[in-house]
Structure 1
């Protein structure tokens, strides 16, 4: 057996703790964790039985000597820790977005290539069971040649959520960074990952959010929504990122002669009427998956000319980690593949900094919002 790999975690919130559990599930040792606030990182380390806890990333790299670093902080804080880790010789597992810009993401990808370290990019909902099922069906020709994909989601997020990293471009915020990255990865895994063309429109329909102290965990931010939004003493921060987007891409597929048209439609602040969904349309049928990240039931339209619920194949059910929660389940899947690859085992291709840098450059293009044709 290969010796256990040592992992150092950056980030103490939901993602940091989730990454730690995922790597433990993959058989690695979590030897340290780094956060911004000593009291918080000490509390998390104690709760999770992580031996080393601190606030200095460079010191942790030296003292913990990790084989892998796992980056689980907001995207705007990724660049320096990843650069230092690569230069130290660590393999890097990074949550999305990779950084806050296409240029810095491309730089880190090239640096990893030069230093010969492996990377994983955790746009990881491509490992949801129904997405894996759709991938298998498309490869088997169940819908003929794919021609079109539709990804629709409406989150109805509270406008009063306290101002934080998700409101700021420079911190890795925005719905493209934190929603589009997942759906793009899902589509790429099913129909093919060669992006040929893109056009898009973004909109900041939030404007501002209340500034509230004490929010340390992304998942509990709703608990800090002020009760009195008319309080004159309340301070407000200005959003500078998109909360809604519409993106159309053409993607080359090994299963189709012509490019596949893909629509990504997301409204972060508006309510849904029917369920969010992802649909793959082909020349002979279609696949419908409930849920914005394809985590719900899969239905197939084929020769019967009706939508029919499909059971999850046994091979996929056996491959999916037996973990509660779709986010955690997908992290476990990717961490397992990453660890196996580092240890020299053969694995299927998984998203790396190549995809992370491409996605970040694509987001920069979409955010220019300059695709309109003015009419006389």
Structure 2
């Protein structure tokens, strides 16, 4: 494919604009953008010099005739839009979660496979440079057999962030959809993609959030926290998703005789005492990456019982796309792989709707929260 790849964006907020810039960074042509509110989508299109702006997704598909669509709306709005795009023969780049349920996500994966379109699932923090370096170290056998992985994070999010999609299961909210997807992707990229078993505990520590009008950009939602939370006129929305989770998993690794144990512990509303981290323990050493999504730096524990900070290799640094932040750079990395694949170029395996559907089915299992054994009768 020698012609410029045409892209249609769904979503006008932080993600939609970020996806558009990411596709442009690899030479694709952004031909249109669709949003809920005409005035908003027209302004975003004007600011970003996108020729088509509208609120009707089906009309945009027919008029713009894109090669690829980029889905940058909350997960609860994905299913219909992605279905329509696949039926039109479009390749699809979708932010996480793929949909709000495992069943609907599986349907999208099966439809994409049947229609033979390419898909990319943006649980994309596996492309953090130090995560890529950790994968290389493990693959080289430097820590021996991988034995277990520990992922700990506490975000201390403001409890009074305005009520919205992130508070609702049916809209794709919850910490599993918006944190665990990235963590699982990071760990599978390092250890191995085959997930053998999983169990978990979830908890809603929030309860409710104030309803505030005018929130458009997800990253700026903190700016809309009401000054007076005791105002009797203030309305409240009820949360129905998890804000904390603990998940245990077992992964298969080609480098280990036994399944690798993984702990995912996340508190969305809880303060951290020390840094968030990801640690990979092996039979001969260990790797510690600072940061909830592996932002670094990376430390290696060797046979001398010392932790040593390792600088990133030049080739990993040079292969990292430019971008304002980690999220934007990781979008650009995955979109670069997708576009190369569409053009028929050779690329390393990347996450598709197969993983998006698998992750959503796992989240459904974890949310059942039915792994407890009643021991109250034991003396």
Is TM (by shorter chain) over 0.5? yes
Write out the 4+ residue segments of structure 1 that deviate beyond 3 Å after TM superposition. none
1:256 Cα deviation from its structure 2 partner: 1.0
SS, match of residue 198 in structure 1: strand
Q: Unaligned 5+ residue runs, structure 1?
A: none
Aligned-partner SS, 2:245:
strand
Q: 1:303 deviation in Å?
A: 1.9
Aligned pairs (5 A) from 1:71-86: 71-86=71-86
Name 2:145's counterpart in structure 1.
145
Deviates more, 1:101-110 or 1:254-263: 254-263
Residue 66 of structure 1 corresponds to which residue in structure 2? 66
Residue deviations 1:156-197 (CA, integer Å, cap 9, x gap): 000000000000000000000000000000001110011111
Write the distance in 2 (CA, Å) between the matches of 1:301 and 1:191.
Answer: 17
Aligned to 1:203: 203
User: 1:225-269 CA distances to partner (integer Å, 9 max, x unpaired)?
Assistant: 011111111110000000000000000011211100000000000
Provide the residue aligned with 2:248 in structure 1.
Answer: 248
Aligned-residue RMSD, C-alpha: 0.7
What is aligned with 1:262? 262
Between the aligned partners of 1:322 and 1:177, the Cα distance in structure 2 is 26
Deviation at 1:297, TM superposition (A): 0.5
Distance 2:201 2:355 in 1: 22
Moved more, 295-304 or 117-126: 295-304
* TM-score, normalised with respect to structure 2: 0.98
Could you tell me which residue of structure 1 aligns to residue 342 of structure 2? 342
* 1:142 Cα offset (Å): 1.2
1:295 to 2:263 alignment: no
Which residue of the partner structure matches residue 277 of structure 1? 277
**Secondary structure at the counterpart of residue 41 of structure 2:** helix
Q: Residues of 2 paired with 1:294 and 1:350: CA distance?
A: 18
Gaps of 5+ in 2: none
Question: Given the alignment of the two structures, is residue 238 of structure 1 paired with residue 242 of structure 2, yes or no?
Answer: no
Q: 2:135 maps to what in 1?
A: 135
Q: SS at 1:121's partner residue? A: strand
Scaled by the length of structure 1, the TM-score of the pair is 0.99
Q: What is the CA-CA distance between 1:317 and the residue it aligns to? A: 1.0
SS in 2 for 1:183: helix
> C-alpha distance in 2, partners of 1:344/1:255?
31
How far is 1:323 from its partner? 2.1
**Deviation at residue 304 of structure 1 after TM alignment:** 2.6
SS of the residue corresponding to residue 372 of structure 2 reads coil
Deviation at 1:322, TM superposition (A): 2.3
SS in 2 for 1:288: strand
SS at 2:251 equivalent: strand
1:199-247 superposed Cα distances (whole Å, 9 cap, x missing partner): 1000001000000111111111101101111111111000000000000
Instruction: Classify the secondary structure of the residue corresponding to 2:113.
Output: helix
